[in-house]
Amino acid sequence: MTKTDFCVYVDERRALIDSALAGFVPPDTQEPRLVHAAMRHAVLSNGKRLRPILSLAASDLAELPRERAMPCACAVELIHTASLILDDLPCMDNALERRGRPCVHVAFGEATALLAVMGLVALAFELAAREGNQEIAACLARSMGTSGLVAGQQADLALTGNGVSLDAIEQVDNRKSGALFIAAVHVPAILAGMGHSDTDAIEVYARNLGLAFQITDDLLDANAGHEDAGKDTFVSQLGVDGAHNRVKELIAVATGALERWDARAEPLRMMADYVGARS
């Protein structure tokens, strides 16, 4: 697969995901209109769609039909979007803009932003339940709850720049990004009936990719002079070069986990290269 092939692959899937999301989130002409408008504002933005693309790529690997893969791929993106709305609130990061547009609480008020969060999470579990497999809802719930995303967000609030250990930062980042990256590949693995050993391998891939992604995010912030001086990150602890090296290591482990697969894993390999090269 050439870089151009990969760009086409990603663009095609992003378009399919955008269109599926636009169909899943109710229109803002339907009551409660304000909440639906807030949900659409948050979801139908210029997102990278990394998690659902990852989910579709894992579905291709597992030979899971697109129509069975899509609702769950979108469910992961909806939970991710809900967590971004929370992250941006005044009591969290107090952000005003995301992806070049006003944050949901700025555009719709905090109360409606919170109801949009609940609406998105409910929709995610409704989509997950369509697949007739309760393991999917269980997997999503664990990745969102206090053993996953929520744990990462809480620990993130506590990283106050007092020089915690690299292990502690890695744990936070693993949960913040890793949990939904892992869910994105685990859900199609469950649906396709993938064996334990293959499922373990693709989870190793996703965990390392998620952590690498989080560090490249920190590196991009640092490059742009946006780093939060009050926060411990890989960059604050290892320096820019050290963080770059860590990303390389993680990408190597992620790619190594794909060795058991042939050309079908090529999009996943290219995705790892993309994450490795983005900072």
142 binds a second copy (CB under 8 A): yes
What is the contact mask toward a second copy in residues 98 to 137, using x (rule: CB under 8 A)? -----------xxxx-xx-xxx-xxxxxx-xxxxxxxxxx
When asked if residue 70 is in the footprint of a second copy (CB under 8 A), the reply is no
Spatial distance between the Cα atoms of 77 and 117, rounded to a whole number of angstroms: 12
Among residues 137 and 250, whose Cβ is nearest to a second copy? 137
Q: Contact with a second copy (CB under 8 A): which of 2, 29, 67, 91?
A: 91
CB of 72 to a second copy, least distance (A): 12
Q: Which is nearer to a second copy, 149 or 275 (CB)?
A: 149
Distance in Å, CB of 38 to a second copy, minimum: 9
* Number of residues that this document lists for the chain: 279
- In the complex, what is the shortest distance from the CB of residue 27 to a second copy, in angstroms, rounded to a whole number? 11
Choose which of 89, 164, 238, 253 interacts with a second copy (CB under 8 A).
Answer: 89
Decide if residue 92 touches a second copy (CB under 8 A): yes
Q: Is 273 helix (H, G, I), strand (E, B) or coil?
A: helix
One-letter amino acid at 70 equals M
Per CB under 8 A, does 245 bind a second copy? Answer: no
Decide if residue 3 touches a second copy (CB under 8 A).
no
Q: Would you state the structure tokens that stand for residue 219, as one six-digit string?
A: 């590196």
Compute CA 167 distance to the chain's CA centroid, rounded to the nearest angstrom.
21
**Tokens read off for 209:** 């990719």
Q: Taking Cα atoms as reference points, which of 214, 155, 198 lies closest to residue 61?
A: 198
Residue 96 touching a second copy (CB under 8 A): no
Q: How do beta strands 97-98 and 101-102 pair?
A: antiparallel
Closest distance of CB 224 from a second copy, Å: 25
Number of other residues whose CB lies within 10 A of the CB of residue 8: 12
State yes or no: cis peptide before 102, omega within 30 of 0.
no
Q: Write out the two tokens for 242.
A: 């050290």
> CA nearest 137: which of 79, 59, 81?
79
Q: Is 35 a binder of a second copy (CB under 8 A)?
A: yes
Cα–Cα distance, 88 to 97 (Å, whole number): 8
Q: Of 115 and 253, which has the nearer Cβ to a second copy? A: 115
Any residues with CB less than 8 A from the CB of 159 and at least 6 apart, and which? Answer: 168, 169, 172, 231, 232, 233
- Interface size with a second copy, residues (CB under 8 A): 53
By CB under 8 A, is residue 44 in contact with a second copy? Answer: no
Q: Does 67 bind a second copy (CB under 8 A)?
A: no
Tokens describing residue 97:
């803009």
Residues near a second copy (CB under 8 A): 26, 31-32, 34-36, 39, 82-83, 86, 89, 91-92, 109-112, 114-115, 117-119, 121-126, 128-138, 140-142, 144-146, 148-151, 153-155, 157
